[in-house]
Structure 1
Amino acid sequence: MQTNLNIQPLFDTEIEVLCPATVANLVCGFDILGMALQDPSDRIRMRLSKEPGIRIQHTDEYKLPTEPAQNVAGAALLDLLQAIPEPVGIEISITKEIKPGSGLGSSAASAAGAVVGANYLLGKPFSDEDLVRFAMAGEKVASGVKHADNITPCILGGVTLIRSIFPLDIIGLSAPPLQVTVVHPQIEVRTSDARQILRKEVLLKDAIRQWGNIAGLVAGFLKEDYELIGRSLEDVIIEPVRSILIPGFDEVKQRSKAAGALGGGISGSGPSIFMLSKEAATANSIAEIMKQVYTQLGIESKVYVTSINSKGCEVRITG
């Protein structure tokens, strides 16, 4: 944490923060790898107040809590405000386009966007790592666990590796141009529930295979080796357990790879499924396959054809 903070509050400024969806885990990198997406994004409007306290409003249909300690954005802001020497108030209005429980980093978008916006309004006294730490308090409200695989790419953009949480050690990874196709079946898989079904112990042979895939995926990104990326998008520990919660998962994955996808899997804790492709035409073909699978299952779905967001949360002055 920074010391001797230089706080310069912008009381007469209103901002809007665009907070991108994220894909956590990237198949084999449970809790350590994440990627920001161009679409969808939440929007948060914020301003400072001379009246201390956090006041939260939602302008969407999800009826999320507005009590700061029970709201992911509020919890993150409470953590941030404890680190500044002078009391200020924050007024925040959240419009969620990333559906809660989608597996696309909905809670991370709210928590990350809130602290990025607050940092801007306070004169940017905090580092990116500070902001990740504050936002992790919001993730604890959402899932009961402080994890950063969604938070970090949401704040920093691109693909990120969290080598360690305590102490926090974040590495930004370069990546080749990639098309990302995501399907969100309109069912909910709660992150806390998806964590509870995981095995507490794994076989050494499975761990070794998983370590090889993580290393291969990171190397594939850095070397811009599409074939290596594809070979490394394999999970022998988490996906076999969590995929049973997602109808149509196996069919989506098999048909997408047959259509030319490099690979993919569960986005975060699900139910969304993502696939990476080298070409836009392939990504669009996969989108049609995803729609067909869920139409045949009688499950409503939303499909995105997007790409990697290299910027992360963006602040725009609105007033």
Structure 2
Amino acid sequence: MKQVTAFAPATVANVSCGFDILGFAIDELGDRVRINLSDNGELKVKEITGDDGRLPVEVDKNTCSVAIQAMLDALGIKQGMDIHLYKGLPLGSGMGSSAASAAAALVAANELLGKPFEKKDLVPFAMEAERIACGAAHADNVAPSILGGFVLIRGYDPLDVVKLPVPDGLYCTLVHPHLELKTADSRSVLRQRISLKESVVQSGNIAGLIAGLFQSDFELISRSLKDVIAEPSRALLIPGFYELREAIRSIGALGSGISGSGPTIFILSKGKDIALKASQESEKVFEKIGLGVDIYVSEVNDRGAYLQTP
């Protein structure tokens, strides 16, 4: 086999209370990477489309090549590969754009090398790409993009990734305002210290959300979608955030929050009908403030990254 194409989905990270430790995958929306083996022993980023020429092609700066190089280093081998990246996700969107590129590249490269790694073992290599992209080797985007489903990062030293159950009928509405918010900028506004009271509140919400997923308790999920650490600072960077939260209360949505570092907002709902109503309410909010949006409605994608047939 000389050529493989893989797809990796968009993700929602943090999920309100789960800063840097929770994430889940979205259906259909994501990035594609095609890789061709070469005989020159070098990694090369040959083509990038969908980024308006903004992403780097240098192998030590592009998330696809950085992730693959980390995998090759772990194997102790050299292998030439030509990388073709097809961006389906907007940059700086809060939908795991850099993570999806790295995840797709790793799944494709792993296949070409004869599958030396299981899917879960690819996560640390994708984290190295995140370090290059945003300055922090976090896994709450790359883990769900690779593995699919709802994922808990229980710990980083050593890395401990746990897949969580997803209740039937849990839908997500993603609202992407037409503005870019770089992860590094969004992280820069975070407080470095929190109070004991805030820690207790946040811990209770994380535990409640995870318990709600296990028990398919939508009311518990709804009560737990509260972030007292990152959201208060980051929401100020996202026009329409609080207006949207107020608008979806009357339609029965479970709750909303910032997807990753923003500006995308996620809304969780029980059932597709409410998720579609949430999308309609979102359109009204952003039309009123004069800001364009893209809206996606999806179930949680349990498949993760996968190979695509030519």
> What TM-score comes out, normalization by structure 1 length?
0.94
Q: 1:4 corresponds to which residue?
A: none
Aligned residue type for 1:60: G
1:115/1:131 contact within 8 Å kept: yes
Over residues 235-262 of structure 1, what are the superposed CA-to-partner deviations in whole Å (9 max), with x where a residue is unaligned?
A: 1111111000000000111111221110
2:51/2:90 contact within 8 Å kept: no
Deviation at 1:81, TM superposition (A): 1.5
What's the secondary structure of 2:60's corresponding residue? helix
What's the secondary structure of 1:162's corresponding residue? strand
Deviation at 1:87, TM superposition (A): 1.8
What's the secondary structure of 1:306's corresponding residue? strand
Aligned residue type for 2:293: S
What's the secondary structure of 2:67's corresponding residue? helix
Distance 1:266 1:277 in 2: 15
Over residues 259-313 of structure 1, what are the superposed CA-to-partner deviations in whole Å (9 max), with x where a residue is unaligned?
A: 1110120000000001011121111111011111111111111000111000100
What's the secondary structure of 1:83's corresponding residue? helix
1:76/1:115 contact within 8 Å kept: yes
1:23/1:103 contact within 8 Å kept: yes
Q: 1:276 corresponds to which residue?
A: 268
Note if 1:308 corresponds to 2:297.
no
One of 65, 78, 86 as aligned partner of 1:74 = 65
Matched ranges for 1:167-316 at <5 A: 167-177=158-168, 178-316=170-308
Distance 2:309 2:71 in 1: 21
1:160/1:170 contact within 8 Å kept: yes
One of 113, 126, 130 as aligned partner of 2:117 = 126
Over residues 121-162 of structure 1, what are the superposed CA-to-partner deviations in whole Å (9 max), with x where a residue is unaligned?
A: 101101334311111111011110100000000010000000
What's the secondary structure of 2:9's corresponding residue? strand
Distance 2:77 2:127 in 1: 23
What's the secondary structure of 1:289's corresponding residue? helix
Structure 1 residues 43, 207: closer, same or farther in 2, change over 3 A? same
Deviation at 1:39, TM superposition (A): 3.4
What's the secondary structure of 1:69's corresponding residue? coil
1:39/1:304 contact within 8 Å kept: no
Aligned residue type for 1:257: R
Q: 1:100 corresponds to which residue?
A: 91
1:180/1:274 contact within 8 Å kept: yes
Deviation at 1:35, TM superposition (A): 0.2
Matched ranges for 1:49-64 at <5 A: 49-56=38-45, 57-63=47-53, 64=55
Deviation at 1:86, TM superposition (A): 3.4
Distance 1:193 1:93 in 2: 28
Q: 1:3 corresponds to which residue?
A: none
Q: 2:5 corresponds to which residue?
A: 16
75-84 or 102-111: which moved more?
75-84
What's the secondary structure of 1:276's corresponding residue? strand
1:129/1:168 contact within 8 Å kept: no
Distance 1:208 1:15 in 2: 47
What's the secondary structure of 1:222's corresponding residue? helix
Deviation at 1:316, TM superposition (A): 2.1
Q: 2:108 corresponds to which residue?
A: 117
Distance 1:129 1:312 in 2: 11
2:26/2:298 contact within 8 Å kept: yes
2:166/2:214 contact within 8 Å kept: yes
Note if 1:160 corresponds to 2:148.
no
One of 76, 79, 85 as aligned partner of 1:88 = 79
Distance 1:141 1:34 in 2: 20
Moved over 3 A (4+): none
Aligned residue type for 1:131: L
Deviation at 1:94, TM superposition (A): 0.9
RMSD: 1.1
Aligned residue type for 1:315: L
Q: Which runs of 5+ in 2 are unaligned?
A: none
Report the count of equivalent residues.
Answer: 307
What's the secondary structure of 1:82's corresponding residue? helix
